[in-house]
Amino acid sequence: MKAIQFSEYGGPDVLRIVESEAPHAGTGEVRVRIRAAGVNPSDWKRREGQYRAFEDVLFPAGVGVEGAGIVDEVGRGVTSVAIGDAVFGFGENTMAEQAVLSHWARKPANVSFEVAAGLPVVSDTATRALDQVGVAAGQTLLVSGAAGGVGTAIVQLARLRGITVIGTASAAKHHYLRELGAIATTYGAGLEERIRELAPDGVDAAIDVAGSGIIPELIRIVGDAAHVLSVADFSAEQYGAKFSHGPPVDPARLFATIAELCSAGSFTLRIDQTFPLDRAREAQEVSQLGRVTGKLIVCVD
């Protein structure tokens, strides 16, 4: 099978499309013939070696942690799906023609493989961040970097919880944020003043999605570091804020819930661009620019 791999840490040029042996589903796993795989910042951060201090990478290493496709092998003990079922979920090395998923849910018929492939990371990260930051219905949340995949999910899930959301993004993306139900504003100089105008009663919590070094400013805006959280800035805890990371909690249940919301039209995921498997390197380059609205997807089949 064809797969994307890298054999050393480095830039996008270390990525290769190779012929590799197909994996097999272990106990409690399923193997999927991948139709689409989500692109995430963790893909290129791992490739660059940013995670080497706390994560072992065995070379040659595959790429991708989420995908959607058709089950073609069922591991021991799996009874919830059968060969031929369409599913999406978390797995390993999902930018390949076949991959093993460890957690999954059925893909609704009215949700595309491309959208389904982009759901696992954003829905898990957004749900965990909202649970950990300490914000409740009737309160106001500031989301820094709200137009990307995770930001898109945080805005929508927060609104479903009855939370008022202020989201930062470039001016060109403000219409998109308003469509999601957020109050839109720009990032950069003068943010504290703009937030005071938009939320004269104050902001109860803030989530940093962009990892742009904004944690001290968010703490000043909220007034309490305990209600400031980042999903991207490893230095957040140095300021007394929170850094959100896995492992995921009951992802199969979460995926089933997000699938229902997508099917009903209560949650949407914009696909910014799609790339064929042999252009996975380009997909990571675009991701690193940090200007994605919604999600990038690699289409495999």
Digit-coded pLDDT (tens) for 153-199:
999 999 999 999 999 999 999 999 999 999 999 999 999 999 999 99
Q: Residue 53: what pLDDT?
A: 85
Confidence of residue 248 (pLDDT cuts 50, 70, 90): confident
pTM: 0.96
Q: DSSP letters along 30-74, please?
A: EEEEEEEEEE-HHHHHHHHTTTTTT---PSSEE--SEEEEEEEEE
Architecture of the structural domain at 2-118+269-299: Alpha-Beta Complex (3.90)
**Distance from chain centroid for Cα 219:** 24
Is the bond leading into 12 cis (omega within 30 degrees of zero)?
no
Q: Residue 48: what pLDDT?
A: 96
Is 9 tagged catalytic? no
Confidence of residue 301 (pLDDT cuts 50, 70, 90): confident
Per-domain residue ranges of the chain: 2-118+269-299, 123-243
Q: Residue 249: what pLDDT?
A: 86
Asked whether residue 279 carries a pLDDT value surpassing 90, the answer given is yes
> How far is 170 from 118, CA to CA, in rounded Å?
22
Q: Residue 237: what pLDDT?
A: 97
| DSSP state letter for 96 | B
Query: pLDDT for 110-149, tens place per residue?
Result: 999 999 999 999 999 999 999 999 999 999 999 999 999 9
Confidence of residue 282 (pLDDT cuts 50, 70, 90): very high
Q: Residue 56: what pLDDT?
A: 86
Average pLDDT over residues 273-285: 98
Q: Residue 54: what pLDDT?
A: 85
Catalytic: which of 51, 176, 187, 239?
51
Query: pLDDT for 209-235, tens place per residue?
Result: 999 899 999 999 999 999 999 999 999
Instruction: Retrieve residue 89's tokens.
Output: 């979920």
Query: pLDDT for 36-94, tens place per residue?
Result: 999 999 999 999 999 998 888 899 999 999 999 999 999 999 999 999 999 999 999 99
| DSSP state letter for 81 | -
Q: Which long-range contacts (CB under 8 A, 24 or more apart) does 133-137 make?
A: 133/205, 133/206, 133/207, 133/227, 133/228, 133/229, 133/242, 134/205, 134/226, 134/227, 135/163, 135/204, 135/205, 135/227, 136/161, 136/163, 137/161, 137/162, 137/163
**Distance from chain centroid for Cα 97:** 21
Phi first, then psi, for residue 102 (nearest 5°) are -100, -25
Phi first, then psi, for residue 84 (nearest 5°) are 100, -15
Q: Which residue type does 31 have?
A: R
Percent of the chain whose predicted confidence (pLDDT) is above 90: 95
Give the residue carrying structure tokens 């070094």. 213
Confidence of residue 202 (pLDDT cuts 50, 70, 90): very high
Architecture of the structural domain at 123-243: 3-Layer(aba) Sandwich (3.40)
Average pLDDT over residues 7-23: 97
Does the fold of domain 123-243 match that of domain 2-118+269-299?
Answer: no
